[in-house]
């Protein structure tokens, strides 16, 4: 996640599993940029920051209850995908915490990702929990987050994405801006732009497509083979779990191009037994991001 905090300052949060290679990549690109730039750029590693994800329909109210009065109006103007520095007030301890709040999160719900100094991380967590009360806010682990992000149809790096996956295969075309499509010149452009090319112009699309699946019987997990009506392999499951909200077994995976349309019936091998799987549109559960007055949150 990349946030333009000021005109000359960007804040980058990488996937934890990719931080070393991302840092090396950014460093090499920055070195190349600075070699010819009149104004040099600097990369600073903030390795003393932690992150709390405050998620759910009550998130905004809970966060507002611990904001300094002068910052309380900021949440109304902070929409999905935006970030702002805010100050939290711990009245009993007469302590103020400055955090960078990004409106979003990987659950499909309204919420905030709070970037806090590691030395203050526990204090901020306890402040939120104590102020809200157990009936409104509880701690949750990655397993809970993982089921929510799958219901929201969101990819997880290492499962549904890796450095061999193109945005077109993953159904993430929205991240490729119009200017990029017109001019190219970015890493992977030759492959990605050819996959984006319309069929009427000679394009064939990507060789595989990310799809959502509803599976009958036992839940399918990462690595389960997807087969067609003849039992031939046509793809693989990358994420799967029982959906607490839908009370169904859902999964995400990649299938051969042409088998990605909603309603297509396939099979998934679970414990060597073929289970019926139906391709379905994602997200499985409608997202509730805060986008202003028109938000569904």
Q: How does pLDDT run along the chain (297 residues), one tens digit per residue?
A: 888 888 999 989 888 889 999 999 999 999 999 999 999 999 999 989 999 999 999 999 999 999 988 777 788 889 998 988 899 999 888 899 999 999 998 999 999 999 999 999 999 999 999 999 999 999 998 889 999 999 999 999 999 999 899 999 999 999 999 999 999 999 899 999 999 998 778 888 999 999 999 999 999 999 999 999 999 999 999 999 999 999 999 999 999 999 999 999 999 999 999 999 999 999 999 999 998 764 443
DSSP codes joined into one string, 208-238: EEEEEEEESSSPP-TTPEEE-TTS-EEEEEE
CA 147 to chain centre: 13
CA–CA dist 65, 62 (Å, integer): 5
Query: What is the per-residue pLDDT for 15?
Result: 85
Q: Is 108 helix (H, G, I), strand (E, B) or coil?
A: coil
pTM here is: 0.90
What is the end-to-end Cα distance of the chain in Å, rounded?
Answer: 22
CA separation, residue 274 to residues 126, 228, 263 (Å): 47, 10, 18
Position 200 scores a pLDDT of 79
pLDDT at 293: 60
Domain boundaries, the chain: 2-148, 173-280
Q: Tell me the H-state helices in the chain.
A: 19-34, 59-64, 121-132, 142-151, 178-183, 189-196
- pLDDT score at 155: 96
201 Cβ neighbours under 8 A, 6+ residues apart: none
Rounded Cα distance between 260 and 205, Å, is: 12
The CATH classification number of 2-148 equals 3.30.1360.120
pLDDT, residue 35, reads 96
pLDDT for res 225:
98
What pLDDT sits at residue 296? Answer: 43
Cβ(176)–Cβ(184) under 8 Å?
Answer: no
What is the pLDDT, as a whole number, of residue 278? 98
SS3 category, 77: helix
- Select from 87, 85, 80 the least CA-distant residue to 103: 80
Closest CA to 100 of 111, 109, 87: 87
* Distance between CA atoms of residues 207 and 195, nearest Å: 9
Q: Which CATH architecture does the domain made up of 173-280 adopt?
A: Beta Barrel (2.40)
């Amino acid at each position: 996640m990349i946030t333009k905090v000021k005109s000359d300052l960007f804040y980058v949060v990488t996937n934890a599993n990719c931080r070393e290679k991302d840092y090396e990549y950014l460093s090499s690109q920055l070195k190349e940029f600075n070699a010819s730039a009149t104004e040099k750029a600097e990369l600073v590693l903030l390795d003393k920051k932690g992150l709390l994800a405050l998620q759910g329909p009550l998130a905004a109210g809970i966060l507002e209850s611990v904001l300094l009065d002068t910052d309380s109006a900021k949440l109304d103007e902070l929409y999905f995908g935006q970030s702002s520095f805010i100050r939290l007030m711990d009245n009993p301890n007469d302590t103020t915490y400055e955090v960078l709040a990004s409106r979003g999160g990987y659950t499909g719900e309204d919420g905030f990702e709070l970037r806090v100094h590691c030395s203050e991380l526990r204090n901020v967590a306890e402040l939120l929990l104590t102020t809200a009360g157990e009936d409104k806010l509880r701690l949750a682990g990655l397993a809970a987050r993982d089921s929510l992000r799958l219901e929201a149809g969101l990819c997880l790096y290492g499962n549904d994405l890796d450095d061999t996956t193109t945005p077109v295969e993953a159904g993430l075309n929205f991240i490729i801006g119009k200017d990029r499509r017109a001019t190219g010149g970015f890493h992977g452009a030759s492959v990605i732009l050819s996959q984006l090319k319309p069929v009427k112009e000679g394009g064939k699309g990507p060789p595989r497509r990310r799809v959502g699946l509803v599976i009958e019987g036992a839940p399918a997990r990462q690595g389960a083979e997807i087969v067609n009506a003849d039992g031939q392999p046509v793809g693989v499951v990358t994420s799967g779990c029982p959906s607490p909200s839908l009370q169904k077994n859902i999964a995400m995976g990649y299938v051969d191009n042409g088998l990605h349309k909603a309603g297509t019936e396939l099979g998934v091998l679970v414990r060597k037994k073929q289970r019926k799987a139906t391709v379905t549109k994602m997200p499985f559960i409608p997202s509730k991001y805060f986008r202003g007055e028109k938000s569904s949150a």
